[in-house]
Amino acid sequence: MSEYLVNIENERLSFFTPAGEVKALNDVSLQLREGEVLGIVGESGSGKSVTAYSLMGLTAYPGRLIGGSLQFNGHQIDQMTEKEMRKIRGNEISIIFQDPMTSLNPVYTVGDQICEVVMLHTDKNKSGANERAKELLSLVGINEPEKRLKQYPHELSGGMRQRVMIAIALACEPKLLIADEPTTALDVTIQAQILELMMELKEKLGMAIIMITHDLGVVANMCDRIAVMYAGKVVEYGDANDIFYNPSHEYTKGLIRSIPKLTEKEHSKLIPIEGSPVDMLNPPAGCPFAPRCGSCMKICLREMPPYTDVTDIHYSACWLLQKQEFEKQQAQKGDA
């Protein structure tokens, strides 16, 4: 078994729409060790969720994996059949979604929906599953679990429903929990509670987490590693310090500039990233961020930049870094 729990290499995935092929993921590579938290940040349509869903074999129609290798916990995900994938889903990999209001089936009780996954992946019978469901509800901090089990989703608040979703996800003690913007639909105080709960459960159960979000504040606090995605590509990868204090990609820099700061004066304006996201039907030949980039060079429009290592675990896809690297080497030669 490899040293990684998750190892995605050069994943390419496209959606074949009537208007043409939408290249949602272009050579995405990501690694994650057991018990680590990986944050994937990026704007809507950058491929964050698509990457995570493909890891569960849940790519939505008309999407199709067209290249690359996806390994998880010794499984070669990209070569597994639907039947084999079903054994992993909800068992070894679980997911919680953005909107807890709509992610639970309105016509079944909370208990039914938790028991379902327990009974699917374990030998427990109905009463055993019920016991486990009670345990899980206590684990996610819901009081009176006995009563809650018999309630329907609409009788619970948003935060409570997200806790139920987490209970469902953790029912079989997965190795990996994917959290797809788990707090976007919740209000701020509940957001903090849910994130805290997730971190607490991570410590308790020792699972790895992939946290998909566009909230940089969330990743800063939680994640061991951060991948910044833009237009179906990981443009920068590093730990929280690298990304926040030493961003090397122009897009990451722009993202960080656009975070509101407490220290700023009352009427100072936020600095947005100018321009609009790329048209994924007709992606540019060069760096996808080039048209919006303040430091765009000629080569940026023509050719895709390769990855440049900033440190051992921090790399970034930007021509500027290649240029700096080249100049450094020239200078060294000159000295010699």
Partner 1 sequence: MAKYIIKRIVMAIITIFAVASVTFFVMNMVPGGPFMSEKAISPQAQAALNEKYGLDKSLSEQYITYMKDLLHGDLGLSVKQRGRTVNMIIETKFPVSARIGGMAILTAMIIGVPLGSIAAFKRGTTIDNIIIIFSTCGIAVPSFVVCTVLMYVLSLKLGLLPTYGLTSWRNYIMPVMALSLYPSSYIARLMRSSMLDVMGQDYMRTARAKGLSQLVSIFKHALRNAVLPVVTYLGPLLAYTVTGSFIVEKIFTIPGLGSEFIGSITGRDYPLIMGTTIFLATLMVIMNVLVDVAYKFIDPRINLK
Residues near partner 1 (CB under 8 A) = 56, 58, 86-91, 94-95, 97, 99, 102-108, 116-117, 120-121, 152, 154, 165, 168
Shortest distance, position 24 Cβ to partner 1, whole Å = 17
For partner 1, the closer of residues 111 and 247 by Cβ is 111
Question: Cα(first)–Cα(last) distance of the chain, in Å?
Answer: 45
Shortest distance, position 101 Cβ to partner 1, whole Å = 8
For partner 1, the closer of residues 102 and 268 by Cβ is 102
DSSP strands (E only) in 33-165: 37-41, 63-72, 75-76, 93-96
For partner 1, the closer of residues 177 and 293 by Cβ is 177
Q: Name 91's Cβ contacts closer than 8 Å, sequence gap at least 6.
A: 121, 172, 174
**Cα separation, 293 vs 275, whole angstroms:** 9
For partner 1, the closer of residues 103 and 308 by Cβ is 103
Would you say 1 and 175 are in contact if contact means Cβ atoms under 8 Å apart?
Answer: no
**Cα separation, 26 vs 11, whole angstroms:** 7
Would you say 25 and 12 are in contact if contact means Cβ atoms under 8 Å apart?
Answer: yes
For partner 1, the closer of residues 15 and 97 by Cβ is 97
Shortest distance, position 94 Cβ to partner 1, whole Å = 7
For partner 1, the closer of residues 148 and 225 by Cβ is 148
Compute how many other C-beta atoms are within 10 angstroms of the C-beta atom of residue 333. 8
**Cα separation, 130 vs 136, whole angstroms:** 10
Shortest distance, position 235 Cβ to partner 1, whole Å = 28
**Cα separation, 167 vs 180, whole angstroms:** 15
Question: Tokens representing 103?
Answer: 């992610």
Shortest distance, position 126 Cβ to partner 1, whole Å = 15
Shortest distance, position 23 Cβ to partner 1, whole Å = 22
For partner 1, the closer of residues 118 and 216 by Cβ is 118
Shortest distance, position 266 Cβ to partner 1, whole Å = 39
Would you say 96 and 162 are in contact if contact means Cβ atoms under 8 Å apart?
Answer: yes
Alpha-carbon separation of residue 299 from 176, 296, 304, 320 (angstroms): 39, 8, 8, 10
Cα torsion 153, 155, 158, 163: sign: negative
